[in-house]
Structure 1
Amino acid sequence: MTPDSPSIVRLNIGGKKFCTTLDTLTQREPDSMLAAMFSGRHTVCQDPGKGYIFVDRDGEHFRHILNWLRDGVIPNLKDSDYAELIREAEYYQLLGLIEGINTASSKRKEEDETSELTRRDIIKCIQSERVKFRGVNLSGLDLSKLDLSYVDFSHASLKDVFFSRANLQCAKFRDVDAEGSIFHNATLRECEFTGANLRGALLAGANLQSANLQDACLIDCSFCGADLRSAHLQSADLTNANLEGANLEGANLKGAKLTNANLKGANLQRAYLRHVNLRETDLEGARLDGANLLGAIR
């Protein structure tokens, strides 16, 4: 691979074929073996006429490695699968993935000690109507893919909870502590997060249409590709938040803090940005048609 090669990379990992980009292989873990292979400093061999680079490793787990490199999400696996994935991560020298897997495994082992309820308890509870977990400690639980719509989590401790792909439509998260929780691709339409602490939470790909995030702490949050149309973000702290490619059409950002926020390619059409300080905000490629920018600092 030379610097002039195309950015698309085709890989044959133990007989399984993958297609990715040069950026994916090199950016998240720049000190890894994969990054070194495709840095342009080394020559890699391709199958003649096929264009695939062969690596003699387990192809079953490589999709998890690619997903980690793409979005930084640790997969939800059985302990035995985690052990196999760590072996592959060690081969590719992916130190961030190894650390993330070890952290996830430890949290699962400590689940009974750190939370008052288990995943099974939650499933039993949500079979009844108008479920409330107000003030309950659910930290570290895996609640991914569950139907938790309309559940009231207000004032609960939800640190590091896995809500990936869960249905949380109209759920209430008022004043919760959900620092570091994962809402990747979750449905959060019309949810209430007023005053919530979501520092460092992952909400990439989440549907947050008309969600209420007023006064929420969203520092270091990832909203990459999230749907925030008509969301209420008044006075929310979005310092260092990543909103690249997010859809904020019609969103209300009055009084929001956007210091060092990444809004590259974001849709801010008809968004309310009056008197918002955008001076330290990355708006490269953002769409601002019809946005209310009266008094905004740019």
Structure 2
Amino acid sequence: MMRHSDLSSLIRLNIGGKKFCTTIDTLTCREPDSMLAAMFSGRHTVCQDAEKGYVFVDRDGKQFRHILNWLRDGVVPTLTDSDYSELIREAEYYQLLGLIEGINSILNKRKDDEDSCAELTRTDIIKCIQSERVRFRGIDLSGLDLSKLDLSFVDFSFACLKNVFFSRANLHCAKFRDVDAEGSIFHNATLRECEFTGANLRGALLAGANLQSANLQDACLIGCSFCGANLRSAHLQNADLTDANLEGANLEGANLKGAKLSNANLKSANLQRAYLRHVNLRDTHLEGAKLDGANLLGAIR
């Protein structure tokens, strides 16, 4: 048995059969309230092999090298999650609170990074659409470039699609119920028989898009551009088309009952046989629009 006063500043350690050489300062300075600091502070006796001069500690020698490096330079090692679990167990035994806090900080950051990376990329989308019955319900796809992809029958309901590029994409029969697609680009996209019920498409670009028989009931279409779009037989009941640009759009047979068209641009639009009963057309630009056979009963003009 030897006391601290008998030991030099150089300490030889045998941790579970693995040999280490360090100093008292290394073991005591960085974590002064730890068990290691207490062991070599002079307040306690330590068991030293009289013949070989090693202090023996019956713990995991593999993880102790990381502990020693932490005490030397204060840097948490980069390890796998399973190795961190083992290292935390040893750090708890030695009462190295700083090391424990550092490891937990890294593990929490990894979890946050994994969560943020959980959202899909264009490549992920392409892989997914090769399978049947694809659903992206409620997923955040903001800002992705999904142009020219075949996304027919895909379910995007409740997803965040802000500023997504769908230009020239095939979205036939896709579902966009209650999506937030503000500012998205659907230029020349195929949207036949799509469902946009309750969707937010404020400021979206749908010029040249094929929306034949699409369901846009109760959708927010404020400031949207439908220039040259095909909206034949589209369902637009109660849709808000305030400030929308529908110049040259084909709305033949479309149902616009209860739709808001304040300050909308319908110049040269085809509204033949369209259903416009009780629609407020005040301040709506209708120069050159075709209204043959349109139902305008109760419409305000």
TM over 0.5: yes
Q: Note the C-alpha offset of 1:115.
A: 7.8
The match for 1:288 among 285, 288, 291 is 291
Say whether residues 1:204 and 2:215 are aligned partners.
Answer: no
Say whether residues 1:279 and 2:282 are aligned partners.
Answer: yes
Aligned partner of 2:77 in structure 1 is none
Q: Given that residues 115 and 138 in structure 1 are in contact (C-alpha distance below 8 angstroms), is that contact kept between their aligned partners in structure 2?
A: no
Aligned partner of 2:49 in structure 1 is none
Matched ranges for 1:25-44 at <5 A:
none
Aligned partner of 1:151 in structure 2 is 154
Aligned partner of 1:32 in structure 2 is none
| Compared CA separation, residues 217 and 157, structure 1 to 2 (3 A) | same
- Normalising by the residue count of structure 1, what TM-score does the alignment of the two structures yield? 0.62
Say whether residues 1:139 and 2:137 are aligned partners.
Answer: no
Q: Distance in 2 between matches of 1:224 and 1:113?
A: 37
Say whether residues 1:265 and 2:268 are aligned partners.
Answer: yes
Q: Distance in 1 between matches of 2:117 and 2:287?
A: 42
Q: Note the C-alpha offset of 1:279.
A: 1.4
Aligned partner of 1:189 in structure 2 is 192
Consecutive unaligned residues in structure 1, runs of 5 or more:
1-111
Aligned partner of 1:174 in structure 2 is 177
Aligned partner of 2:14 in structure 1 is none
Q: Given that residues 114 and 139 in structure 1 are in contact (C-alpha distance below 8 angstroms), is that contact kept between their aligned partners in structure 2?
A: no
Q: Distance in 2 between matches of 1:114 and 1:152?
A: 21
Q: Which has the higher Rg, Structure 1 or Structure 2?
A: 2
| Amino acid corresponding to residue 185 of structure 1 in structure 2 | N
Name the SS of the counterpart of 1:121 in structure 2.
helix
- Percent identity between the two aligned chains: 89
Q: Distance in 2 between matches of 1:276 and 1:160?
A: 30
Aligned partner of 2:248 in structure 1 is 245
Q: Distance in 1 between matches of 2:282 and 2:219?
A: 21
Q: Distance in 2 between matches of 1:198 and 1:113?
A: 25
Q: Given that residues 136 and 157 in structure 1 are in contact (C-alpha distance below 8 angstroms), is that contact kept between their aligned partners in structure 2?
A: yes
1:121-153 residue CA offsets vs partner (Å, 9 max, x unmatched) = 000000001100000000000000000000000
Q: How many residues align?
A: 187
Q: Give the CA RMSD over aligned residues.
A: 1.3
Q: Distance in 2 between matches of 1:224 and 1:116?
A: 32
- Structure 1: which 4+ aligned runs deviate by more than 6 Å? 112-115
Q: Distance in 2 between matches of 1:174 and 1:148?
A: 15
| Compared CA separation, residues 176 and 264, structure 1 to 2 (3 A) | same
Q: Distance in 2 between matches of 1:183 and 1:113?
A: 26
Aligned partner of 2:236 in structure 1 is 233
| Compared CA separation, residues 172 and 185, structure 1 to 2 (3 A) | same
Q: Distance in 2 between matches of 1:263 and 1:127?
A: 40
